Structure 1
Amino acid sequence: MRRLVVLALILAGCATVADSPDYSALPRWTTHAIAQARGDVRVLPDGRRQAVRYEGWPTQDFGSFRTYAYDDARPDVPVSKATPPTGVSGDAKKGRALFLSRAKAPCTGCHLVPGADVWPAGNVGPDLSAIGDRRLPEAYLYQQVWDPRVTFPNTTMPPWGASGAFTAEEIVHLVTYLQTLKGPIPPEQDAERNPFTRGRPTGFGDNLDPTNNPAVVLAEDAEKLWNAPGPNGRACANCHDGGATRSMRGAATRYPKFVAAYGRVMSIEDFLTVHGPERTGRPLLAESEDNVDLAMLIKMASNGMPVQVDVTSAEARAALARGKASFYRRIGERNHSCADCHTPERGANKFLGGRMLVDVTEGLTRHFPTWRTSQGAAWDMRRRFQWCMTPLGANMLAADAIEYAELELYLTSFDNGKPMSVPGIRH
């Protein structure tokens, strides 16, 4: 019982925050981000809407679904009861293709089913390898795929039919496929295929070794930018003596924080977008290489020092309340929240596909910016937020949005007392 009480207090946030978030006094903010990171949507000549995202990212517009924007007052996807359509014959082969389709989900991100081609499978949801043996009514299975909230109000499974991700006919095919999955389940030839027997990831070695982590080299090269005069003839070094390593020691441990001059919470990256041009005349747009590299250089000066973001001032408490509300807010076509993946009682410490979902109570932010081996680039926390939005079926906000800053503050509150280690290295 004591452990449950402690866990409940942790999940309430490392800080005691206001019960009801107040959105009334926030400033209007004009983004200072690169074009790909502003969350814009453009209208094509044929009238179709296309989201502007980073090169190689999907451009589908999810404007029909709720986002993290504080002024987006749309409700959750409405709970919807449904029955299988008449006159549709299920095709198990089509159902399996839909189950594995990356364009649709794939369902294997959360559920294990038989097949050597099922890789990587996750275990956020139950193993469905022999669900056909349960002889569940087709109408019941249809409803669970269409909108499982009818039966399980707190489920993390998306309302696939209610949101329009799958059509009624496609769900019939999925149900037909699921009914074919019966035992005995063949023995695993590869323990790594099965998320229930797969080993926990071991990491990528020393993240501060420049021969192992390319982001370290990028950060060290940013010292040139630190010392280079901008268009107005001044450099960062003119105001901060002793180089970034000495003058910035400890600074990053306090970010994100409320910055009175701008009336909002800011990360180091946010602050650079406005402070840099004001002092040097050089633009440091959010998600630009200069911004991310300089932020890494500044944060590296605090490596080994404990995170100590403010969680007690009135401004911090108000921001934490809003950030916490965002953490639990369900958004997008899949009607998911951050909490669905990153809290111990939901998806944390389980596999989503081949990726182990990190537990928010262990801290998520003190390694960012981090080198993404799968992307060949250094990402800050905001690009990671934006990346999450796309598979959730939600349009992203601008990288320097206040909503993201306060969400990052809430997440960073769990890192308080833990040592910084920037840049990280992740897949």
Structure 2
Amino acid sequence: MRSAPPLRWAAVAVLATGCTLAASESAPVASSAWTSRAIPEARGEMRVGPDGTRTAVRYKGWTTRDFGAFRTYAYDDARPEPAVQKTAMPGGFAGDAKKGRALFLDRQKAPCTGCHLVPGDDVWPAGSVGPDLSTLGDRRLPDAYLYQQLWDPRVTFPATVMPPWGAQGIFTPEEIIHLVAYLQTLHGPPPPEKDADRNPFTRRRSAGFGDNLDPTNNPAVIRAEEAQALWNARGPKGKACADCHAGGSKTAMRGVATRYPRVVAEHGRVMSLEDFLGVHGEATTGRALPLESDANLDVTLLIKMASDGMPVAVDTASPAARAAIERGKATFYRRVGQRNHACADCHTPERGANKFLGGRWLADVTEGLTRHFPTWRTDRNEVWDMRKRFQWCMTPLGANMLAADAVEYAELELFLTTFDVGKPVTAPGIRH
């Protein structure tokens, strides 16, 4: 269980009337400990073996490694950002450029090509978050300088988005010496490009995935349509969603999704639509709708689509919302995990946004990131909501994920949604 921060504001505006799903709000009450309503693999829990070994319970195919040594987004995780480490290049190792190149391309370690272009037809796809290193050797930088940049670049560049590879134990001292040896071999001129798309600085951006609301193009639309049966079905308490929300889901839910995430006074915390359904569905119909379950995602899609085309209108003015947004903003800029990265490192224009991370174009938070969620993931053949996307980001950063319905994620989502205010809801989206 994780405690939500106390909410003690004077009043919160009424978001809707005549609809239990968008109930009026009075002063939020101080929240007691929150128990996750997510499916087991989405709760951020750990299993402890007889020998004390901890393994993470995560989605099928995700790593089970415990990253407990590194700080997370949890509000009760008071660990500071790792201290900057200035170091000297150790002796006793002979750099091997061939080994260094293999490490540079190693997808289990990095790969460094996710941010940097270097020569080679096997470098695919390279990213553009960092500078092109194809001729770095021509700069004749001292080995000791390159070693320090790989060990902890914050010594020279405090605002860098590059991880402190050595300081955080991702690369060993010997491996960094091999990397330095490889980088020193990179001399110009680079060979002509056989394919302009190999080079992230000349690569064409994807034209997109077509009409995201066309059921022949987006399988998530069909799932939303199939959720109508769940909407009409009575649960163990003899009630169905349709019994309380007359006129059909498209009419009854019109505009509801535009106001989420929001502060829900009854629960003393910010909740997304998925969070609220996880509590409200079971309380009213007796049917559990745990977060990240098919049922929760399908009903969320049904409700979100009822607001397609309407402008996002989350509360950004009440004291409760403003305080939550500030906490969400702090989370957005908080660096976490073994790689010591923040959301802002990838999604702000002054850092990684509008550049390629490997083959993936990094979206700009100022253009809005939330109004197309839940979204169909073409590379996974799955529907993901914003929370699963948050959780997915944690594992490559080397941070333990929180429960899908953690208040920290809810307030981060609210902060992100403020950039979508006034823009039309367009769910479900399509993303790779």
Q: Is 1:148 matched up with 2:153?
A: yes
- Name the structure 1 match of 2:383: 378
Deviation at 1:277, TM superposition (A): 0.2
Q: What amino acid is aligned across from residue 179 of structure 1 in structure 2?
A: Q
Q: Deviations over 1:191-244 (max 9, x none)?
A: 111000001221100000001000000111000100000111111001001111
Aligned counterpart, 1:107:
112
Distance 2:32 2:156 in 1: 41
| RMSD (Å), alpha carbons | 1.0
Residue type of the partner of 1:114? P
CA distance in 1, matches of 2:366, 2:129: 18
C-alpha contact (below 8 Å) 1:27/1:264 kept by paired residues: no
Alignment equivalent of 2:52, drawn from 33, 42, 47: 47
Query: Which AA in structure 2 matches 1:47?
Result: G
Specify the alignment match of 1:212 in structure 2.
Answer: 217
Q: Whole-Å Cα distance in 2 between the matches of residues 327 and 225 of structure 1? A: 35
Cα distance in 1 for partners of 2:32, 2:145 equals: 48
Q: Distance in 1 between matches of 2:346 and 2:370?
A: 15
1:223-281 Cα deviation digits (max 9, x unpaired): 01000001111110010011111100000000000011111100000000000000000
- CA offsets 1:271-306 (integer angstroms, 9 cap, x no match): 000000000001100000100111010000000000
Q: Which residue of 1 aligns with 2:88?
A: 83
Q: Is 1:157 aligned to 2:162, yes or no?
A: yes
Amino acid at match of 1:250: G
Paired residue type of 2:46: V
Task: Go from structure 1 to structure 2 and tell me whether the alpha carbon gap of 1:26 and 1:168 turns closer, same or farther (over 3 Å shift).
Answer: farther
Q: Does 1:398 align with 2:403?
A: yes
Q: Report what 2:361 is aligned to.
A: 356
User: Residues 262-281 of structure 1 correspond to what in structure 2 (within 5 A)?
Assistant: 262-281=267-286
Aligned residue in 2 for 1:339: 344
Aligned residue number for residue 20 of structure 1: none
SS state at 2:47 partner:
strand
How do 1:4-15 and structure 2 match up within 5 A?
A: none
The secondary structure found in structure 1 opposite 2:236 is: coil
Separation in 2 of the partners of 1:307 and 1:291?
Answer: 21
Question: 2:196, 2:203 within 8 Å by CA — same for their partners in 1?
Answer: yes
Residue in structure 1 matching 2:183, options 178, 186, 202? 178
Q: 3-state SS of the aligned residue for 2:422?
A: coil
Equivalent residues in 2 for 1:296-307 (5 A)?
296-307=301-312
Counterpart in 2 of 1:60? 65
Report Cα offsets for 1:130-177 as digits up to 9, x if no partner: 101101000000000000001111111100001111111111111111
What amino acid is aligned across from residue 407 of structure 1 in structure 2?
A: L
Aligned equivalents of 1:123 and 1:49: distance in 2?
36
Question: Which amino acid letter does the alignment assign opposite residue 337 of structure 2?
Answer: G
Residue of structure 2 equivalent to 1:224:
229
Contact map agreement 1:244 1:298 (CA 8 A) in 2: yes
C-alpha distance after superposition, 1:383-425 (max 9, x if no partner): 0000000111100000000000000000000000000000000
Q: Tell me what 1:233 maps to.
A: 238
Q: Distance in 1 between matches of 2:58 and 2:87?
A: 35
Contact between 2:42 and 2:404, CA under 8 Å: does it hold in 1?
yes
Q: Who is 2:121 aligned against?
A: 116
Residues 172 and 266 of structure 1: CA distance in aligned 2, closer, same or farther (over 3 Å): same
In structure 1, distance between residues paired with 2:51 and 2:32:
36
Residue 253 in structure 1 maps to residue 258 in structure 2: yes
Q: CA deviation at 1:68?
A: 0.3
Counterpart residue identity of residue 34, structure 1: I
| 86-95 or 247-256, which deviates more | 86-95
Q: Which residue of 2 aligns with 1:17?
A: none
Secondary structure, in 3 states, of the residue corresponding to 2:52?
coil
Is 2:426 the partner of 1:426? Answer: no
Does residue 353 of structure 2 align to residue 329 of structure 1? no
Relative to structure 1, the CA distance from residue 161 to residue 226 in structure 2 (aligned partners, 3 Å threshold; closer, same or farther) is same
Residue identity matched to 2:409: Y
**Partner AA of 1:80 in structure 2:** Q
Other-structure match for 1:15: none
> Aligned equivalents of 1:389 and 1:202: distance in 2?
28
Q: Give, in whole Å, the separation in 2 of the partners of 1:415 and 1:173.
A: 45
**Contact map agreement 2:31 2:267 (CA 8 A) in 1:** no
Quote the residue 1:92 is aligned against: 97
Q: Secondary structure at the match of 1:145?
A: helix
Paired residue for 1:282?
287
Inter-partner Cα distance in structure 2 for 1:55 and 1:85: 41
CA–CA separation in structure 1 for the residues paired with 2:285 and 2:354: 44
The residue that corresponds to 1:388 in the other structure is: 393
Structure 1 counterpart SS, 2:34: coil
> Aligned AA for 1:273?
G
| Partner Cα separation in structure 1 for residue 421 and residue 32 of structure 2 | 27
Aligned amino acid, residue 399 of structure 1: A
Quick check: 2:136–2:186 contact (8 Å CA) kept in 1? yes
Structure 1 residue 45: Cα displacement: 3.2
**TM-score under structure 2 length normalisation:** 0.92
Q: Deviations over 1:315-358 (max 9, x none)?
A: 00010010000000000001110111000111000000000000
TM-score computed with the length of structure 1 as normaliser: 0.93
Q: Helix, strand or coil: the match of 2:193?
A: coil
Q: What is the rounded CA distance, in whole Å, between the counterparts of 2:395 and 2:37 in structure 1?
A: 21
Structure 1 unaligned regions, length at least 5: 1-23
